[in-house]
Structure 1
Amino acid sequence: MSRGLTATASRDLLSVWCGWVLIGAAVLVAPIGWLWPLGFSGLLALVGLLCLPAVRISDQDRPAAMILFAGLIWAAVSTTWSPYHPSKPGNNTILKLAFELPLYWSAISAARRADPALRTRALQVLAFGCALFGLVLIEETITRGAAYKYLHVFYEPIRGDLAESNDGHSTQVLGLIWPLAALGAPSRLMPWLALVMAAGVGAAAMAFGYDAPVLGLILAPVVFLMVWRWPTLTPRLLAVVAAVLFLSMPAVIWAVRHFTDYEALRHALPMTDAMRLGYWSHAIDWIKLRPLQGWGLEASRMFGPGIVLHPHNNPLQVWLELGAIGAITAAAFWGVVLSRLARPWSNMTAAASAACCSVYLLFGVNFGVWQEWWLALGALVALLTVANAQRPVR
């Protein structure tokens, strides 16, 4: 009897601990998203480390967990033939992935394990914090980054153009998470806080020349409404689209290059987009030489000057480095994750999560697939999905 009471008390203590850790993390999301997006990898890792006793893999989680573990093993094997050899542990991608997978999973588990009242408080803190983030972005748009420049004076002076670029970069953080962040607000305030977040993203992205967040502001509401209207069909359709995206990307780029005037298209686009098309063209040429196994983890770094760091296209980078095996693994992961959002009834959490996942896939044409902060943002989307899913149906 006493042993049972002790176990119950221990579980309750863990729930309270996880709840307070989530509240602390919620306080930090907005300032990190604005001032230091790279810090998300440390934030999610810290949450996971502090909440390691909460780690669980449920029956529903098992397919995604198995796919992620298989992908990690294949990535590790691919390092044996990769031409990239890290010079120090901080550059060792497979080492970082080996730590990130359990720590980020632990952070997501903490959202499920947390005390319900504290979890609700954490979601509310996040909602108001992200609304304030949106207001700050509006202010930065009007003043051309005055607050960001002012804060930098205290620790590192920064050029005005770089400050504005960093402000624009931060719109990709809020532009990714705002549907799930707004969902944590009290019902009567939810649409207004969502509007403030979206307005901040749109204003700053257009002012500082970032197109992807603007496209995300169009895509997210469309996906949300589609999942809300067709809660069973749309997530399954999105799962198919995501899988096809990863499996067919090299063929799509090849077709565009073969059947259009690719060079004319490149010269008609802004410089950053033209450079990206050049990376993609070089990537498919390398993929054709080793389509099954790929060139190995982080091999993209060795294909300069045609490719600088990575192809700036998540599916192409997976193909280039991990081959068809890696692409099938990524397609399976996204297929499982998105299809699990299917419901027989309309559900706001499922709709918001699908919206965020769609934007994550859209933004994937800007970043390297293994960037720590980018993977951490993906884990944050999963954490917010789990946290909101534990609340009463909305």
Structure 2
Amino acid sequence: MPRAPITSIDPALDAAALLRRIGFIGLFVVMPVAAQVARRAVVILAPISIALLVLASAIDGKSRSVRPASTRLLRSSAFLAGALVILWSALSLIWTPFLSLATERLLNLVATLLMTIGGYLALPDRMRSANLYLLPVGVAAAALFAIGLGLTGQGPFGQGFLRADEDSILDRGLILLILFVWPAVSWLRSRGRNGEALGLGLVVSVALLISPGPTTLVALAIGAVAFALTAFRPVSTPRLLAGTAAALLVLGPVLPFLARPIGATLFGGRAPGVLSLKAWQTIVTSEPVRLITGHGLETALRGRFVNLLPMNAPRTLLFELWYELGLVGAFAAAFALHAAIRRAGREASVLVPGAMAAFASAFVIACIGVGMTVMWWLTTLAVAILVFVAVERGQFRTRRPKASLLPSALKA
């Protein structure tokens, strides 16, 4: 009587696979859709999903070895420069006028960094295609949902869901959509699904065309330009993008003196943007010594309400970085950004155009008006980084050894 085949079933491995799948569904599908209607969707769902990935990794041990991976991360120039930014932010608590608020913001920043490192170490060394295909599905679902909200102006909870004071909720969701579409497109292109990648990009573009404001559409357009340029010039474009972004951060105090005359000529001297540049000029010239140390963490946001700086002061990374952290923080951030852009996608060349597009879109969003330390924005950036790392770890091919007929015939 033949014996029944023996199958080894490990409940722990099955549980880890289930937890990992739920974590990726939360990151790739639920969060992009929920972000269209929930203001705090990113800051709530991201830690939960990453915690599930960490738990799954602890159960089955399918992630990379912690010591080599963490050593490689901690020794990278981009990480060290970013650590210097955080260290200088902590030191700036000595002279910030908003100590309690700045301390809370710094702790949130450190917690976001630790969450990102934990997610990075918990990602499997080889990502399953079934998990990564959830990413374009989630992006497409979120884009279609955003299109429905934009066309009707109504949500699932009744009439007038998108009131005038809630437009920023949709903007947050669309910003997440912009940062997620590039790794999704990169994944589809790496699998030879160029038609699906183009269709996904078109659906996201339609969602942004009917959005309340032009910010997201401009960011997507510049990202698309960076994608196209990198596809044709994969070596020179990352260098150009890294140099431009770093130069803009370093030259922050000089920018209003260059941009204001141009803006006044094009839009008139009383245009809101031109007046904002004028306020920036006044701040630079009135306190030149503060350009070295900065005013301390949280002063760019809270200072508007205590007459520390004008209400029409710019809400942009280029201004807030220099105003809060001064020369040390700005140069460290510029070096970190330059190193990160130059390094992105080195292990998989097919991902370089998408990585450059994501960097360009994120930088434009930060410069147009998101600011520097808004927590939902920092969490969105952290999750976008983890998504790209996951896509990069899915770039492996299993090849069968080629059979040689001639040696076999000779041996016979």
Q: TM-score, normalised by structure 1?
A: 0.81
Q: Give the whole-Å Cα distance in 1 for the aligned partners of 2:335 and 2:14.
A: 36
Percent of matched pairs sharing the same residue: 21
Amino acid at match of 2:180: I
- Structure 1 residues 343 and 85, CA gap change in structure 2 (3 angstroms): closer
- Structure 1 residues 388 and 47, CA gap change in structure 2 (3 angstroms): same
Choose the corresponding residue for 1:354, options 353, 356, 360.
356
Structure 1 unaligned residues grouped into runs of 5+: 1-8
Structure 1 position 94, deviation (Å): 1.1
Q: Give the whole-Å Cα distance in 2 for the aligned partners of 1:355 and 1:277.
A: 28
Choose the corresponding residue for 2:72, options 59, 63, 70.
59
Structure 1 position 196, deviation (Å): 4.0
Partner of 1:175: 178
Q: Give the whole-Å Cα distance in 2 for the aligned partners of 1:283 and 1:18.
A: 50
Choose the corresponding residue for 1:379, options 368, 382, 390.
382
Q: Give the whole-Å Cα distance in 2 for the aligned partners of 1:275 and 1:121.
A: 52
- Structure 1 residues 287 and 101, CA gap change in structure 2 (3 angstroms): farther
Structure 2 unaligned residues grouped into runs of 5+: 1-10, 398-412
- Contact 1:254/1:284, CA 8 A, preserved across alignment: no
Say which is worse superposed, 355-364 or 39-48, in terms of deviation: 39-48
Q: Give the whole-Å Cα distance in 1 for the aligned partners of 2:51 and 2:328.
A: 31
Partner of 2:406: none
The answer on 1:85 being equivalent to 2:99 is yes
Q: TM-score, normalised by structure 2?
A: 0.77
Partner of 1:72: 86
Amino acid at match of 1:384: V
- Which structure is larger by alpha-carbon Rg, 1 or 2? 2
What is the 5 A alignment of 1:194-209? 194-200=198-204, 202-209=205-212
Choose the corresponding residue for 1:151, options 137, 153, 157.
157
Q: Give the whole-Å Cα distance in 1 for the aligned partners of 2:199 and 2:275.
A: 34
Q: Give the whole-Å Cα distance in 2 for the aligned partners of 1:107 and 1:37.
A: 23
- Structure 1 residues 277 and 181, CA gap change in structure 2 (3 angstroms): farther
- Structure 1 residues 328 and 164, CA gap change in structure 2 (3 angstroms): closer
Structure 1 position 101, deviation (Å): 1.2
- Structure 1 residues 263 and 116, CA gap change in structure 2 (3 angstroms): closer
- Structure 1 residues 214 and 161, CA gap change in structure 2 (3 angstroms): same
Choose the corresponding residue for 2:142, options 106, 118, 133.
133
Choose the corresponding residue for 1:38, options 40, 49, 55.
40
- Structure 1 residues 283 and 101, CA gap change in structure 2 (3 angstroms): farther
Structure 1 position 297, deviation (Å): 0.6
- Structure 1 residues 287 and 20, CA gap change in structure 2 (3 angstroms): farther
Partner of 2:293: 293
The answer on 1:116 being equivalent to 2:119 is no
Partner of 1:3: none
- Structure 1 residues 259 and 181, CA gap change in structure 2 (3 angstroms): closer
Partner of 1:218: 221
Superposed CA deviations along residues 110-169 of structure 1, whole A, max 9, x for unmatched, are 33x36522xx333211211111111122223332x22x2x3367xxx8563345553344
SS of the counterpart of 1:28?
helix
Say which is worse superposed, 370-379 or 101-110, in terms of deviation: 101-110
- Structure 1 residues 244 and 393, CA gap change in structure 2 (3 angstroms): farther
Q: Give the whole-Å Cα distance in 2 for the aligned partners of 1:188 and 1:264.
A: 46
- Structure 1 residues 362 and 286, CA gap change in structure 2 (3 angstroms): farther
Partner of 2:400: none
Choose the corresponding residue for 1:28, options 27, 30, 40.
30
Q: Give the whole-Å Cα distance in 2 for the aligned partners of 1:141 and 1:310.
A: 30
The answer on 1:142 being equivalent to 2:184 is no
Choose the corresponding residue for 2:116, options 68, 79, 104.
104
- Structure 1 residues 207 and 64, CA gap change in structure 2 (3 angstroms): same
Amino acid at match of 1:298: E
- Structure 1 residues 189 and 99, CA gap change in structure 2 (3 angstroms): same
Choose the corresponding residue for 1:246, options 239, 244, 249.
249
The answer on 1:192 being equivalent to 2:203 is no
Partner of 2:303: 302
Structure 1 position 253, deviation (Å): 1.2
Say which is worse superposed, 304-313 or 214-223, in terms of deviation: 304-313
Structure 1 position 232, deviation (Å): 2.2
Q: Give the whole-Å Cα distance in 2 for the aligned partners of 1:139 and 1:110.
A: 35
- Structure 1 residues 217 and 256, CA gap change in structure 2 (3 angstroms): closer
- Contact 1:104/1:379, CA 8 A, preserved across alignment: yes
Structure 1 position 373, deviation (Å): 1.0
Partner of 2:401: none
